[in-house]
């Protein structure tokens, strides 16, 4: 028995060995050489793979290669960045040489368009795509910031330069009614790998793990119906590719500092200004003045500003590692990253982000494939100073403290009363750091995204796909406001404003009774599932594709915020250390929502010349009541590829035109993003303000107070879009030109304007309704050029710009506000050009400055009763045009200052790139030409003995400086918006730049690396033309957290 068994085993082994030998005999070594078609030179580094298999190699420095393949049936694939991919069947040949051709056209590029993909040449809508590798080297705070000025029609807004500051995208100037109520947003819809996501999840993306980002700007977003009216941002993350496992690292180490620090008056300058202010107000010499000896003391003993005491350069660093590879049966991608943005204040202040992404694609058969993706992100923000990214109060305190007030003396933080009148306790940051204050915010989220795709061979072109994703998130914060004392010092000087080193007492910056512990949390889960059936076939000259699908999503969330006050046990930050009678429940929220959708798309083209695309989507949202929950959002687009016409191809006159397509579409999109269940009445339970119920004796009962008046008719906000465009390229695709004209009609906007007509004694606010309407017209242009100048030098550039205008066609007019003919009560929003009729363009028309008494006399001779905000004109005052002819200047004389508005004539986003051998230079710039910009209102505050002002006020009018650029300090109209404070808004800035060097293939072979690149890059680098020199153009106010410049050195390599 054993012998028979061994014979069977031996026979089986021999059979297996024979099969392996036969299979091995079919695999041969294929050799060849790769050349560049235009020059005939060898091309090292070209990737050669066997199609459908994991076998891969790269061309040697001399262009030669060797790869194992089956010459009877295998196909070799040759690929290299910037060149057209080639697939070459072996067909028995043992030596195959190829010539690679420059790929100046991206028309065959596949673009994600929603529940599918199309070739770029077949896309009809206004769609823009950017490869993540184009922004991967930018040391920006997040992926949204790196998109600034790169895509026509896409705006980027940055809250401030602080770590963790909010950065938002806006598509084609999307807006909401000023009275839309909370819940409404102007942000686009974010979709990551087919799953609807939040802006926070988008901001947490690591560019090194993203393949590309596609922006749907017009009604092509109708395929997403719900929430598509503000545009859609589609993100495709990286997937594994067939080949041996490849390990990649990308990281940088950078330094963050202010692009421009606020320049304030030093102590001597402020002392002089204050004395002049007293003189101009008619004070006699007294103890308020700085004497000559005081001024000399300020000259000889400069005090460092509080801002300079606490500001410092900080470190920003980012590191990510990815591993990918696989076979024709399974590919994988794993990546993890960490980014740390340090704050610029002393103490501990940072924003840290951790991310992990993984994906697995399994091919079970030619017909069945599965995708599984799992992603986790974690964000931690911490500060031991009471400051938040959008908080101006802390910055205001730092820079307005007069520079004769030290922040500390002999290590003791100084107690200071500041503000306009010296009555506000200014929190000393050194004291606060030492007190134990902290503010901790944490957030994490995960997404599990799976999909199964079935493409039966029996029905060519048919694909059935089921996708389901689940997302969970949690966020929490803890803020401890600790008690602390600051030292009060003996004062000296004629006006008792100078400090000695003698401590007289201590005062509470934060009293023990005001110490607080605040905790909050929020959590939520959501799922989204869709099933689609797609069919695509070509029949001779006709191509047809059809998609139908259904989707359902649901989410729930809850959160709570509580606070304890009056710390009873020192140095303890648990809740029990606080007065339990001072506990406050600051709010409890719970929400749930559900959406259901059915959608479809039909596409047809004839010879790729005439294209038509029709989309329809039905959406139902639980945000609206029965009868109003469903909305239908259609879109129809047509295109004509003129360059495919025989008359065009055969024309010698038009031979310089490589590609020309006209396109147009019209459609409807919707938005349900507002507060949940506005159709239901809501009440607050009040257990404090109780009442009596009949039959309950003397016991008082809790009460219910209405918090929301329901609107059972509320429904979808809608946007009808008409878009007409042109896509073209010239001179063998070297030059590209794109144009789009669009008209957006937004109606049934979420609106609470009617609330202004409700009398205050009504006791409740008006419900949100669908009412406001507005129109936006615009054009977008994009121009690009890409060419190889010499054998080793390649140059590319692009510019994008656009124009737009908005007017409101329907809005509630609040009759109660038609009270006086001043700006605040004007109802100018209806039917006017919003570029002209907006609060930023309403002001006084300045006639100049009264520099001498003779100027004053001439003015009063012409207008004897002329006053400026109640004051008789004096030398050093600004004077204005009396628009209403009443002889006095006040807010009634404010009108639109500039007939064409204040917006720049043109906003240009420019990109330049050079490639020379292993060197790459990439530059992104912005240029705003024309328009008007104003000195910000906070910079126009008047100096006092308690409040410092910007240094530009040193060039003010005074009897000794009658030609000063700015008015005297006590000018009654100086703080008013007027044409005097307007400047040409032309601004030119280098947003970011990167210079990299990649090691050539000859050196890489010796190192063992598949790639190695060194990168020097910068973000917010230089402002070449700044209309307002006292602040950065990206800062709205001088008191904002400064705009941050980052300069970094990075390293990328692959193994």
Write the CATH number of the domain with boundaries 122-248: 2.170.130.10
Per-residue pLDDT tens digits for 700-750: 677 777 788 889 999 999 999 999 999 999 998 999 999 999 999 999 998
Residue 25: which pLDDT band, with cuts at 50, 70 and 90?
A: very low
Quote the pLDDT of residue 565. 95
CA–CA separation, 738 and 952 (whole Å): 44
Percent with pLDDT over 90 in the chain:
57
Question: DSSP for 67-123?
Answer: EEE-TTT-EEEEE-TTB--EEEE-TT-SB--EEE-B----TT-EEE-SSSEEEGGG-
In this model, does residue 1045 exceed pLDDT 80?
Answer: yes
Taking the CA atoms of residue 406, residue 408, residue 413 and residue 419 in that order, the dihedral angle to the nearest 10 degrees is: 10
In this model, does residue 2 exceed pLDDT 70?
Answer: no
CA–CA separation, 372 and 450 (whole Å): 4
CA–CA separation, 240 and 358 (whole Å): 9
Per-residue pLDDT tens digits for 1016-1028: 999 999 999 999 9
- Whole-model pTM: value is 0.86
Quote the pLDDT of residue 19. 42
Determine how many CB atoms are found less than 10 A away from the CB of residue 257: 16
Determine how many CB atoms are found less than 10 A away from the CB of residue 539: 7
- The DSSP letter of residue 386 is S
CA–CA separation, 1047 and 1055 (whole Å): 27
Quote the pLDDT of residue 22. 40
Q: CB–CB of 512/483 below 8 Å?
A: yes
CA–CA separation, 838 and 178 (whole Å): 12
Question: DSSP for 259-308?
Answer: SS---B--HHHHHHHHHHHHHHTTPPS-TTSPPHHHHHHHHHS----HHH
Quote the pLDDT of residue 761. 67
Quote the pLDDT of residue 559. 94
The three-state secondary structure class of 835 is coil
What are the tokens at 441?
């915010």
Q: What is the mean pLDDT of residues 22-40?
A: 73
Per-residue pLDDT tens digits for 331-354: 999 999 999 999 898 888 889 999
Q: Which CATH class is domain 2-100?
A: mainly beta
In this model, does residue 909 exceed pLDDT 50?
Answer: yes
Determine how many CB atoms are found less than 10 A away from the CB of residue 524: 18
Tell me which of 85-99, 243-257, 566-580, 898-912 is least confident: 85-99
In this model, does residue 668 exceed pLDDT 80?
Answer: yes
Quote the pLDDT of residue 327. 87
Q: CB–CB of 1011/1029 below 8 Å?
A: no
Domain borders along the chain are 2-100, 122-248
- What residues contact residue 309 under an 8 Å CB cut-off, 6+ apart? 346, 407, 408, 430
Q: What is the mean pLDDT of residues 543-559?
A: 94
Q: What is the mean pLDDT of residues 232-246?
A: 89
Compare 695 and 682 and report the one with higher pLDDT.
682
CA–CA separation, 50 and 989 (whole Å): 47
Where does residue 680 rank: exposed (0-12), middle (13-18), buried (19+ CB within 10 A)?
A: exposed
Question: DSSP for 521-577?
Answer: EEEEEEEEEEEEEEEEEEETTEEEEEEEEEEEEEEEEEEEEEEEEEE-STT--SGGG
In this model, does residue 128 exceed pLDDT 70?
Answer: yes
- Ramachandran area for residue 461 (φ above 0: left; ψ -120 to 50: alpha; else beta): left
Q: CB–CB of 801/152 below 8 Å?
A: yes
Structure-token match 């031979």, residue found: 655
- Count Cα neighbours of 296 within 13 Å in the Cβ-side half-sphere: 3
Residue 920 pairs in a beta bridge with: 915, 996
Quote the pLDDT of residue 818. 56
Per-residue pLDDT tens digits for 378-433: 999 999 888 877 777 888 888 999 999 999 999 999 999 887 777 888 889 999 88
In this model, does residue 451 exceed pLDDT 60?
Answer: yes
The phi, psi pair for 148, rounded to 5°, reads -55, 125
Per-residue pLDDT tens digits for 179-198: 776 778 889 999 999 899 98
Query: CA distances (Å), 893 to each of 751, 823, 836, 896, in order?
Result: 31, 9, 16, 10
Q: CB–CB of 138/148 below 8 Å?
A: no
Q: What is the mean pLDDT of residues 592-597?
A: 92
Quote the pLDDT of residue 310. 92
The three-state secondary structure class of 14 is helix
Q: CB–CB of 410/483 below 8 Å?
A: no
In this model, does residue 17 exceed pLDDT 50?
Answer: no
Where does residue 682 rank: exposed (0-12), middle (13-18), buried (19+ CB within 10 A)?
A: middle
- What residues contact residue 201 under an 8 Å CB cut-off, 6+ apart? 190, 192, 377, 445, 447, 471
Q: CB–CB of 605/122 below 8 Å?
A: yes
Tell me which of 458-472, 700-714, 925-939 is least confident: 700-714
Q: CB–CB of 40/8 below 8 Å?
A: no
In this model, does residue 31 exceed pLDDT 60?
Answer: yes
Q: Which of 790, 1014, 787, 1054 is nearest to 918 (CA)?
A: 1014
- The DSSP letter of residue 405 is S
Kindly report the average pLDDT of the chain as a whole number.
88
Per-residue pLDDT tens digits for 637-666: 999 999 999 999 888 899 999 999 999 999
Tell me which of 119-123, 407-411, 530-534, 572-576 is least confident: 119-123
Taking the CA atoms of residue 378, residue 383, residue 386 and residue 387 in that order, the dihedral angle to the nearest 10 degrees is: -60
CA–CA separation, 386 and 429 (whole Å): 8
CA–CA separation, 466 and 775 (whole Å): 39
What are the tokens at 978?
């007027």
Q: What is the mean pLDDT of residues 932-945?
A: 91
Residue 24: which pLDDT band, with cuts at 50, 70 and 90?
A: very low
Per-residue pLDDT tens digits for 477-519: 999 999 999 999 999 988 889 999 999 999 998 999 999 999 9
């Amino acid at each position: 028995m054993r012998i028979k068994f061994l014979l069977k085993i031996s026979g089986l082994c021999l059979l297996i060995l024979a099969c392996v030998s036969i299979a091995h005999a079919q695999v041969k070594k294929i050799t060849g050489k790769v050349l560049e078609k235009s020059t005939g030179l060898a091309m090292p580094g070209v990737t050669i793979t066997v199609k459908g298999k994991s076998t891969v190699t790269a061309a040697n420095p001399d262009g030669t290669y060797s790869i194992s393949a089956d010459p009877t049936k295998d196909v070799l694939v040759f690929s290299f960045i910037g060149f057209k991919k080639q697939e070459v069947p072996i067909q028995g040949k043992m030596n195959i040489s190829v010539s690679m051709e420059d790929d100046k056209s991206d028309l065959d590029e596949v673009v994600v368009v929603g529940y599918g993909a199309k070739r770029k040449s077949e896309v009809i809508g206004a769609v823009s795509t950017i490869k993540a590798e184009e922004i991967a080297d930018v040391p920006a705070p997040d992926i949204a910031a790196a998109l600034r000025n790169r895509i026509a029609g896409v705006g980027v807004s940055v809250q401030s330069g602080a770590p963790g500051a909010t950065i938002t995208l806006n598509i084609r100037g999307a807006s909401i009614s000023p009275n839309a109520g909370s819940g409404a947003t102007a942000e686009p819809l974010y979709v990551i790998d087919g799953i609807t996501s939040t802006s926070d999840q988008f901001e947490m993306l690591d560019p090194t793990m993203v393949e590309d980002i596609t922006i749907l700007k017009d009604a092509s977003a109708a395929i997403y119906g719900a929430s598509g009216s503000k545009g859609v941002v589609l993100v495709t993350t990286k997937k594994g590719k067939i080949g041996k496992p490849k390990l990649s690292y990308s990281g940088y180490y950078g330094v963050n500092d202010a692009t421009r620090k606020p320049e304030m008056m030093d102590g001597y300058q402020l002392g002089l200004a204050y004395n002049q202010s007293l003189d101009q107000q008619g004070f006699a010499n007294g103890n308020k003045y700085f004497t000559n000896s005081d001024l000399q003391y300020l000259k000889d003993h400069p005090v460092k500003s509080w801002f300079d005491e606490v500001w410092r350069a900080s470190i920003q660093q980012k590191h990510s590692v990815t591993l990918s590879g696989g076979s024709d049966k399974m590919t994988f991608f794993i990546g993890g990253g960490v980014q740390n943005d340090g704050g610029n204040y002393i103490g501990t202040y940072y924003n840290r982000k951790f991310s992990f992404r993984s994906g697995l694609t399994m091919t079970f058969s030619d017909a069945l494939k599965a995708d599984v993706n799992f992603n986790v992100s974690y964000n931690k923000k911490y500060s031991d100073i009471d400051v938040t990214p959008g908080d101006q109060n802390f910055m205001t305190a730092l820079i307005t403290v007069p520079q004769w007030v030290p922040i500390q003396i002999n290590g003791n933080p100084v107690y200071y009363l500041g503000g306009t009148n010296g009555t506000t306790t200014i929190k000393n940051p050194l004291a606060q750091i030492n007190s134990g204050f902290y503010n901790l915010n944490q957030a994490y989220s995960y997404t599990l995204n799976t999909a199964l795709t079935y493409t039966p061979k029996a029905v060519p072109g048919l694909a059935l796909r089921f996708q389901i994703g689940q997302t969970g998130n949690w966020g929490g914060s803890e803020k401890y406001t600790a008690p602390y004392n600051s030292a009060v010092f003996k004062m000296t000087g004629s006006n008792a404003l100078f400090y000695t080193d003698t401590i007289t007492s201590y005062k509470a910056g934060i009293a023990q009774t005001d110490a607080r512990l605040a905790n909050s949390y929020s959590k939520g889960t959501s799922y989204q599932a869709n099933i689609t059936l797609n069919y695509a076939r070509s029949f001779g000259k006709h191509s047809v594709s059809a998609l139908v699908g259904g989707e359902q999503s649901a989410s729930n969330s809850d959160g709570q915020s509580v606070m304890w006050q009056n710390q009873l046990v020192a140095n303890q930050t648990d809740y029990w250390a606080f007065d339990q009678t001072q506990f406050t429940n600051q709010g409890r929220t719970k929400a749930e929502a559900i959406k259901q959708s059915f959608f479809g798309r039909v596409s047809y083209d004839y010879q790729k010349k005439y294209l038509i695309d029709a989309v329809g989507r039905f959406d139902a949202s639980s945000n609206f009541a029965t009868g109003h929950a469903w909305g239908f959002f259609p879109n129809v687009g047509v295109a004509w590829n003129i360059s495919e016409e025989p008359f065009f191809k055969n024309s010698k006159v038009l031979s310089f035109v490589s590609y020309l397509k006209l396109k147009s579409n019209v459609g409807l999109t919707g938005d349900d993003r507002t507060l949940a269940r506005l159709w239901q009445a809501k009440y607050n339970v009040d257990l404090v303000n109780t009442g009596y119920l009949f039959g309950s004796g003397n016991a008082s009962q809790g009460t219910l107070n209405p918090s929301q008046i329901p609107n059972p008719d509320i429904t979808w906000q809608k946007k009808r879009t008409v878009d007409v465009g042109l896509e073209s390229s010239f001179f063998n695709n070297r030059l590209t030109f794109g144009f789009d004209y669009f008209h957006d009609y937004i109606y049934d906007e979420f609106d609470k304007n009617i609330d202004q007509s409700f009398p205050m004694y009504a006791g409740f606010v008006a419900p949100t309704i669908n009412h406001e309407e507005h129109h936006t017209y615009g054009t977008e242009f994009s121009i690009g050029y890409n060419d190889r100048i010499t054998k080793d030098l390649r140059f590319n550039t692009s510019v994008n710009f656009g124009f737009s205008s908005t007017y409101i066609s329907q809005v509630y007019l609040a009759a109660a506000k038609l009270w006086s003919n001043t700006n605040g009560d004007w109802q100018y929003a209806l039917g006017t050009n919003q570029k002209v009729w907006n609060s930023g363009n309403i002001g006084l028309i300045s006639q100049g400055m009264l520099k001498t008494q003779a100027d004053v006399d001439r003015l009063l001779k012409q207008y004897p009763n002329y006053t400026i905000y109640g004051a008789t004109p004096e030398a050093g005052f600004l004077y204005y045009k009396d628009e209403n002819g009443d002889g006095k200047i006040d807010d009634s004389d404010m009108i639109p200052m500039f007939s064409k508005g204040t917006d720049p004539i043109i906003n240009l986003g420019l990109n330049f790139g050079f490639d020379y051998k292993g060197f790459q230079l990439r530059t992104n710039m912005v240029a705003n030409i024309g328009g008007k910009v104003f000195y910000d209102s906070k910079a126009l505050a008047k100096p006092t003995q308690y409040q410092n002002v910007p240094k530009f006020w040193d060039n003010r009018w005074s009897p000794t400086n009658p030609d000063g650029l700015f008015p005297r300090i006590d000018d009654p109209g100086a703080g008013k918006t007027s044409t005097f404070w307007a400047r040409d808004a032309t601004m030119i800035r280098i947003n970011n730049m990167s210079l990299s060097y990649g090691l050539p293939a000859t050196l890489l072979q010796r190192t063992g690396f598949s790639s190695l690149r060194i990168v020097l890059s910068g973000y917010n680098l230089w402002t070449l033309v700044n209309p307002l020199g006292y602040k950065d153009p990206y800062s709205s106010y001088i008191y904002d957290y400064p705009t941050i410049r980052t300069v970094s050195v990075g390293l990328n390599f692959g193994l």
